[in-house]
Amino acid sequence: MDVERARLMRDKERGLHRPHALAPQAGTRKHRELRFNKLRVWQVDQAKALLESLEHLDVAPGMLPNSLAVWYDITDYTMEGLEAALIAQGFHLENTLYCKMIRALVYFCEETQLRNMRQPERLLKKSNEIYSKAWEHHAHGDHDDTPPELRQDR
């Protein structure tokens, strides 16, 4: 049995599904990979101990030796917030162009999802009524101000 298969079995047993960190993930529960600088692999264990102390955050070894897998609900944490906190504590994250692009994409997606969750739900079925009423009250060429009793039937 290889390492990846053993991790999948362990995560399945714990109830932690491990989709690819970049795969679309419906809902608010997210799985992400935090990658640390390859020259500072020893920081992974320290970061794991720090992150495990946070409530509602599940942490496991990542797919790579310099990474950690984390599961969280975006109403509790965001990847941007977690990484900013780690950087503030002196941890060095992987800084390749690929990682920067992935981070920017994940930050944007999570921020957009949070913003959409805060917005009130629109009643799309009544939107036509709103536009119809606005059109009735708007001065335009299709409106005749002559009272109905003075109009001539033609």
Is pLDDT above 60 for 154? no
* Average pLDDT score over residue span 26-36: 87
Q: What pLDDT is attached to residue 96?
A: 92
Q: Is 62 helix (H, G, I), strand (E, B) or coil?
A: coil
Q: Does CATH number 3.30.70.100 belong to domain 13-118?
A: yes
- Residue 33 in contact with residue 62, Cβ under 8 Å? yes
Query: 40-49 — which CB contacts under 8 Å span 24+ positions?
Result: 40/91, 40/92, 41/65, 41/66, 43/91, 43/92, 44/68, 46/91, 47/86, 47/91
Please indicate whether residue 8 or residue 104 has the higher confidence score (pLDDT). 104
**Would you kindly state where each structural domain of the chain is located, as residue ranges?**
13-118
Work out the pLDDT band at 24, boundaries 50, 70, 90: low
Report the C-alpha dihedral over residues 96, 99, 103, 106, rounded to 10 degrees.
Answer: 160
pTM of the predicted model, to two decimals? 0.65
- Give the dihedral sign, CA 49/30/102/78: negative
Q: What pLDDT is attached to residue 89?
A: 93
Work out the pLDDT band at 132, boundaries 50, 70, 90: confident
Q: Which residues are within 8 A (CB) of 90 and not within 5 positions of it... i.e. 6 or more apart?
A: none
Q: What pLDDT is attached to residue 120?
A: 78
